[in-house]
Amino acid sequence: MNTPSLPLTQSRRDFLRVGSASAAAFALSFPVVLRGAPENRKLKIGLIGCGGRGSGAAINALTADSNTELWAMGDAFSDAIERAHTALEGKYQATPGRVNAPPERRFVGLDAYQKVLASGIDFVILATPGGFRPMMLRAAVDAGKHIFCEKPMAVDPVGVLSVQESVKIAKAKNLAIRSGFCMRFDPAYVAAMKRVHDGEIGDILSIYSTRMGGRLSRFSGERLPGQSDLEWQMRNWHHFTWLSGDLILEISAHSVDKIAWAMGDEPPVKCVGSGAYHQQKIGDIWDQHDVTYEWSNGVIAVLRSRYENNCHNEGRDVIIGTKGRCELSDSGGYSAKITGANPWKFEGPKTGMHQIEHDTFFAEIRAGRNPNDGVVMAQSTLMGVMGRMSAYTGKQVTWEKALTSKLDTMPKQLSWDMKLETPVPAVPGSTPLI
């Protein structure tokens, strides 16, 4: 394992020292070569976090604007960088120069993000585990970069507060931030939500949202000989709440975000959550979460998030109104329909939402309109956090409590040789609400 030349000593609280854009997107197709740019120079892209999602986002960015190049890459582990670099070079071998990240601009270690930001890039992709997002988002804003920020944007309330502050600073600096809540860019969902917001199902009464599938086998959890506490947990980050936020944030955050979207991004007043730990063998994440959110107008939304083998699988959102219901589904491809007084079914093309979000993002940047999804992305993240807080503790959690909570799960003074205890799963009724 490569160790960094400088240890990461900043905590996220250090990034709180400085004190509403909608993320709803266009279901439009933009040309690959974007015109109307305030400047037509080639934009240099930096990638921080070189796993599958990071590599995918890099491809989306390079595809969205042909006058771009991947300039720098950073990850805690050299093998992740080299795998990603090999794959990206192979994809763009017919267009030399699109992947222009030589060894001296492939940075390894806990401080790699700082080196990517200082390498001369214009635009950065933040795709590390969510626990690092608040700190890296703040560093990117301080460095004056346009940002694509994967979800979740944080894994605890202190992290969300940091994100909110970074968003304010980015807005003051006229920096663009696009969130990783990609389902707001799917053409079927965009068309359906417009109809919901236009009143075609009447007033919303309730929402039922599910994200159920088999256990995720992304990481084995095995601890190899010689691995330090930190390396073992980071290489198996999915299993640890301080890194992933648990599955309600790492995966089901999309379902939480769709609930927020349907409600016009008005935060809920409170929530009550429950859940269970059945098939997990390592770490402290749970297999399932069930959360009921409630709004001041009486609307109730139920989220069911479960990842267990040999169980019913389902991914859908049912928005029930006084004049009908809207159903979104991701089973066998994304689809949407409305039944009731104004029946409708989406019949448009199955266009990739990940690409659309980057296409529109670069188009707006080139046109001098720098969108900032920050307010919405922070609120949706906090909705997921408050649901997990309620489930872990067995307590009702209000929005105000989530906003002011001092819960901070990020270990301090990270270094490869630090002693890092293995976290144990929360016990409702015993785990305190902080």
Per-residue model confidence as pLDDT tens digits over 270-286: 999 999 998 888 999 99
Residue 34 burial (C-beta neighbours within 10 Å; 0-12, 13-18, 19+): buried
β-bridge partners, 398: 270
- Is residue 124's pLDDT more than 80? yes
Q: Give the Cα-Cα-Cα angle 282, 151, 37 (nearest 5 degrees).
A: 150
Q: Smallest Cα–Cα separation from 180: which of 114, 135, 238, 126?
A: 126
Say how far apart CA 4 and CA 20 lie, in whole Å.
38
Q: What is the pLDDT of residue 41?
A: 85
Contact indicator for 307, 247 with CB cutoff of 8 Å: yes
- Is residue 27's pLDDT more than 50? no
**Residue ranges matching CATH 3.40.50.720 in the chain:** 12-184+356-379
Say how far apart CA 146 and CA 163 lie, in whole Å.
15
Following CA atoms 243, 249, 254, 257 in sequence, which dihedral angle do they give, to the nearest 10 degrees?
Answer: -120
Stretch 397-425: mean pLDDT:
96
Contact indicator for 253, 151 with CB cutoff of 8 Å: yes
Question: Residues of 359-395 as b/e, b for ≥16 C-beta within 10 angstroms?
Answer: bbbbbbbbeeebbbbbbbbbbbbbbbbbbbbbbbbbb
In 10 A of CB 411, how many CB atoms?
18
Q: Smallest Cα–Cα separation from 246: which of 315, 161, 307?
A: 307
Say how far apart CA 208 and CA 73 lie, in whole Å.
40
Q: Smallest Cα–Cα separation from 114: which of 186, 214, 8, 32?
A: 8
- Is residue 59's pLDDT more than 90? yes
Token match 């006058």: residue? 67
Per-residue DSSP letters for 292-329?
EEE-TTS-EEEEEEEE-TTS--EEEEEEEESSEEEEEE
CA atoms within 13 A on the CB side of 135: 27
**Residue 129 banded pLDDT, cuts 50, 70, 90:** very high
* Average pLDDT score, the chain: 91
The three-class DSSP label of residue 341 is coil
Say how far apart CA 261 and CA 267 lie, in whole Å.
10
**Residue ranges matching CATH 3.30.360.10 in the chain:** 187-345+382-404
- Is residue 2's pLDDT more than 70? no
Say which residue, 32 or 351, is predicted with more confidence.
Answer: 351
- Is residue 387's pLDDT more than 60? yes
Q: Tell which CATH classification among 3.40.50.720, 3.30.360.10, 3.40.50.10440, 3.30.70.260 matches the domain 187-345+382-404.
A: 3.30.360.10
Q: Tell which CATH classification among 1.20.1090.10, 3.40.50.720, 3.30.300.30, 3.60.70.12 matches the domain 12-184+356-379.
A: 3.40.50.720
Q: How many residues would you count in the chain?
A: 434
Q: What is the pLDDT of residue 26?
A: 34
Preceding omega of 38 cis (within 30 degrees of 0): no
- Is residue 107's pLDDT more than 80? yes
Say how far apart CA 271 and CA 151 lie, in whole Å.
21
Q: Smallest Cα–Cα separation from 261: which of 189, 331, 205?
A: 189
Residues 6+ apart with CB under 8 A from 143: 117, 118
- Summarize pLDDT for 276-319 with one digit per residue, the tens: 998 888 999 999 999 999 999 999 999 999 999 999 999 999 99
Stretch 224-249: mean pLDDT:
97
Say which residue, 233 or 280, is predicted with more confidence.
Answer: 233
Contact indicator for 244, 238 with CB cutoff of 8 Å: yes
